[in-house]
Structure 1
Amino acid sequence: MTSSEVWDDDTAERYDTTSAEMFARDVLDPAVDFLAPLAGPGAALEFAIGTGRVGIPLTARGVSVTGIELSAPMVAKLRHKVDNATLPVVVGDMATTSVPGEFALVYLVWNSISNLRTQTEQVECFRNAARHLAPGGRFVIELWVPAVRRLPPGQPAVPMSIGDGHIVFDTYDLATQQCTSHHYWRESDGTTRYGAGHFRYIWPAECDLMAQLAGLELEDRFGDWRRSPFTSDSESHISVWRKPATGLKSD
Structure 2
Amino acid sequence: MTLDLTRLDHLTQDELWDEQAAASYDTPGIGMSSDEVLGPTLDRLVALAGDGRALELAVGTGRVAIPLARRGVPVTGIELSRPMLDQLGRTDGSDAVTAVHGDMATTRVEGEFSLVYLVYNTIANLLTQEAQVRCFRNAAAHLRPGGHFLIELWVPDLRAVSPSAPAQVFAVRDGYLGLDAIDTATQRLMSHHVTFDPGTDGPDRRSARIGFTPHRYIWPSELDLMGELAGFELASRDADWSGAPFTSESRSHVSVYRLR
TM-score range, shorter chain: over 0.9
The alignment partner of 2:13 has SS state of coil
The alignment partner of 2:247 has SS state of coil
Q: Does 1:196 align with 2:206?
A: no
Distance 2:225 2:162 in 1: 29
The alignment partner of 1:88 has SS state of strand
Distance 1:22 1:144 in 2: 14
Q: For 1:25-40, what aligned pairs fall within 5 Å after superposition?
A: 25-40=35-50
Report the equivalent of 2:182. Answer: 172
Distance 1:165 1:83 in 2: 30
Q: Which residue among 233, 246, 250 is the counterpart of 1:230? A: 246
Report the equivalent of 1:103. Answer: 113
Q: Aligned residues: percent identity? A: 52
The alignment partner of 1:28 has SS state of helix
Q: Which residue among 116, 131, 135 is the counterpart of 2:145? A: 135
Distance 2:145 2:250 in 1: 31
Residue 110 (structure 1) shift = 0.1
Distance 1:152 1:63 in 2: 45
The alignment partner of 2:235 has SS state of strand
The alignment partner of 2:137 has SS state of helix
Distance 2:244 2:27 in 1: 28
Distance 2:238 2:178 in 1: 25
Residue 10 (structure 1) shift = 2.0
Distance 1:19 1:173 in 2: 35
Q: For 1:44-63, what aligned pairs fall within 5 Å after superposition?
A: 44-63=54-73
Residue 188 (structure 1) shift = 2.5
Distance 1:85 1:17 in 2: 20
Contact 1:4 1:115 in 2 (8 A): no
Deviations 1:157-208 (A, max 9, x none): 1111111111111111111111001111111222111111111110000000
Report the equivalent of 2:256. Answer: 240
Distance 2:76 2:256 in 1: 19
How many pairs align? Answer: 243
Residue 21 (structure 1) shift = 1.3
Unaligned runs of 5+ in 1: 245-251
Deviations 1:5-39 (A, max 9, x none): 33222221221249951111111111111111100
The alignment partner of 1:58 has SS state of helix
Q: Does 1:42 align with 2:58?
A: no
Distance 1:29 1:84 in 2: 19
Q: Does 1:69 align with 2:85?
A: no
Contact 1:5 1:115 in 2 (8 A): no
* TM-score when normalising by structure 1: 0.92
What value does the CA root-mean-square deviation take over the aligned residues?
1.8
One-letter identity of the residue aligned with 2:243:
R
Unaligned runs of 5+ in 2: 1-9, 200-205
Query: Structure 1's 98 and 83: CA in aligned 2 closer, same or farther, altered over 3 A?
Result: farther
The alignment partner of 2:198 has SS state of coil
Query: Structure 1's 42 and 230: CA in aligned 2 closer, same or farther, altered over 3 A?
Result: same
Contact 2:38 2:64 in 1 (8 A): yes
